[in-house]
Structure 1
Amino acid sequence: MTDIIACIDGSRSAPAVCDYAAWASQQLDAPLVLLHVLDRALYPQSDDLSGNIGMDSREQLLEELARLDEKRARLAREQGELTLRAACQRVVDAGYAAPQAMHRHGNLVETLMEQEENIRLLVIGKRGEDSTRPSQLIGSQLENAIRSMRRPVLVTPTEFRIPRSVLLAFDGSATADKGIDMICASPLLRGLPIHLVMVAAQSDRHRQQLDAAAERLRGAGYETHTALLSGEVEDTLLGYQQEHQLDLLAMGAYGHSRIREFFIGSTTTTMLRRCTTPLLMLR
């Protein structure tokens, strides 16, 4: 578990992904790997198209389709290589150490799972190259990547801004407690003031949970502010973040089953769609 892996494509998010990944690499003093995955569903390697046309189709048509498919895949590979080269140059021009480039052909989530044991932090844009519809607020593979990974994931907006402050959402759960441990042990957010916010009923139990978590953060050297607030979780967190102009939001990801989320919705998915700052998902 050593590398910062950044998912690079041709989307508007790619420059910010480079910048946030380079920042994280410096904070963690960890190697940076820029990853581009050529989707095999869009660019298959096989030239066997016989199942896609009728039995009585002409051999000339089959050969032409195969040539076109091969040319399309070759151009996509070349574009991916150019994208990676430009991303590497962006990181170097910003004054960071030269990253490693990794080009793969396959499925993004499967590729990330293959690399998971080497991943310390995954950096990925909110909307990828295939997210073309204005109504598509998050990328088609983003949720699957976050659900599948057992590593922290930093989801980036389209513009880079060095984080100067953090909102850490806390709900007293085992996932939230693990997130506190991760932040205390990691240098990623070191030196940044943390606003620890719990959205729950006003009670002695919730206040005690919040204060205990804050003390752990303070013991690790973090300037920590606390708030116990009432209201709808997503609206309250985003409202607090905007009011205090906090640059990064951190929270546990997908703490409930898919069945429960089907009936009541997912706070994680809602925050992914609505948050306009980088969002650190703690797993």
Structure 2
Amino acid sequence: MTHVMACIDGSPQAAAVCDCSAWASKRLDAPLTLLHVLDRQQYPVSGDLSGIIGLGSREFLLQELATLDEKRAKLALEEGRMMLDSARQRAISAGVAQPECRQRHGDLVESLRDLQDETRLLVIGRQGEDSGDAIQHIGSQLENVIRTMQRPILVAPGDFSEPQSVMLAFDGSATSRKGVEMLAGSPLFKGMPIHLVMVAADTADNQAQLENARGVLTAAGFNVEIAIRAGEVEPTLHAYQAEHGIDLLVMGAYGHSRIRQFFVGSTTTNMIRTTSTPLLLLR
């Protein structure tokens, strides 16, 4: 059975990630796994420092440094266990019956890739614990996670409250059409009004695409509003979201071409940086 996978760390977003993943777990009727990854670059498994012997260091000093690294790693491991236990208790309080805790030592992106077959939805904070205090700063590994994972990713930017409405940024692409089908077939947003918003020229073709998408969602039992707005994508979507009080945004994630892979100023990146509500990225 695939899980809702929640990345837990010491960042300010950890509580929101926990609450958001608990909500998703209950809505999807899927088990919740709370994951903490101990960065092997900060806390290496081995304390092997023999490479600096040539600089004149003494053997006992190398041993002391190795022991210190080992102690730091053990403390970090225990801190991670405490964070996971706190998150588990929070999830139980939110109504999740048996959340599972996992701790891994390694690279976050590699760990998530290894667990991808077990993952139905990934929930992650916009900032990690090493990202600093800048409100609109994106965590250093988040973009790599988004580009690597082939699963839907729910990004939690701050405090979480259960969504009452949802907006899908629709552009007529294969990704957004697939997004419509995913929303129609998923229990995640059942009973919520859905807004389909296209930032483009108000043409007959664009209207027809929106109407087709609305038909798919209406047939699945959703109450659907459609809109075409002109302007720059990011501010126009935010303006519509604020105007209608929509508390969760859905959009397609990055493409996979070599050019797009290094296109820092993408709409996706900007939306992650500026959104104040949860953002669900579809692949």
TM over 0.5: yes
Rounded to whole Å, the distance in 2 between the matches of 1:263 and 1:104 is: 31
Q: How many pairs were matched up?
A: 283
Give the equivalent residue in structure 1 for 2:27.
27
**What are the superposed Cα offsets for residues 128-150 of structure 1, whole Å, 9 maximum, x if unpaired?**
11111427611111111111000
Equivalent runs, 1:1-283 vs 2, <5 Å: 2-52=2-52, 54-134=54-134, 137-255=137-255, 257-260=257-260, 265-283=265-283
Q: Which amino acid aligns with 1:144?
A: N
**What are the superposed Cα offsets for residues 171-204 of structure 1, whole Å, 9 maximum, x if unpaired?**
0001111111111111111111001000011211
Pairwise CA RMSD: 1.5
TM superposition shift of 1:259: 1.5
TM superposition shift of 1:245: 0.8
Rounded to whole Å, the distance in 1 between the matches of 2:201 and 2:188 is: 31
Rounded to whole Å, the distance in 2 between the matches of 1:204 and 1:256 is: 30
Rounded to whole Å, the distance in 2 between the matches of 1:215 and 1:198 is: 16
**What are the superposed Cα offsets for residues 198-235 of structure 1, whole Å, 9 maximum, x if unpaired?**
00112111111111111111111110000011100111
Q: Structure 2: which 5+ residue stretches go unaligned?
A: none
TM superposition shift of 1:265: 2.8
State TM-score, norm by structure 2.
0.96
TM superposition shift of 1:47: 1.6
Rounded to whole Å, the distance in 2 between the matches of 1:262 and 1:9 is: 27
Q: Contact conserved, 1:113 with 1:148, CA < 8 A, in 2?
A: yes
Change in 2 beyond 3 A, CA 1:131/1:216: same
Q: Contact conserved, 1:175 with 1:255, CA < 8 A, in 2?
A: no
Q: Structure 1: which 5+ residue stretches go unaligned?
A: none
Rounded to whole Å, the distance in 1 between the matches of 2:54 and 2:238 is: 55
TM superposition shift of 1:56: 2.3
Rounded to whole Å, the distance in 1 between the matches of 2:68 and 2:233 is: 51
- Per mean C-alpha deviation after superposition, the further-off stretch among 134-143 and 258-267 is 258-267
Rounded to whole Å, the distance in 1 between the matches of 2:104 and 2:172 is: 40
**What are the superposed Cα offsets for residues 39-98 of structure 1, whole Å, 9 maximum, x if unpaired?**
001100012111245342111110111011111101000000000011001111223212
- Per mean C-alpha deviation after superposition, the further-off stretch among 126-135 and 101-110 is 126-135
State TM-score, norm by structure 1.
0.96
Determine what percentage of the aligned residue pairs are the same residue.
Answer: 60
Q: Contact conserved, 1:252 with 1:282, CA < 8 A, in 2?
A: yes
Q: Secondary structure of 1:87's match?
A: helix
Change in 2 beyond 3 A, CA 1:135/1:195: closer
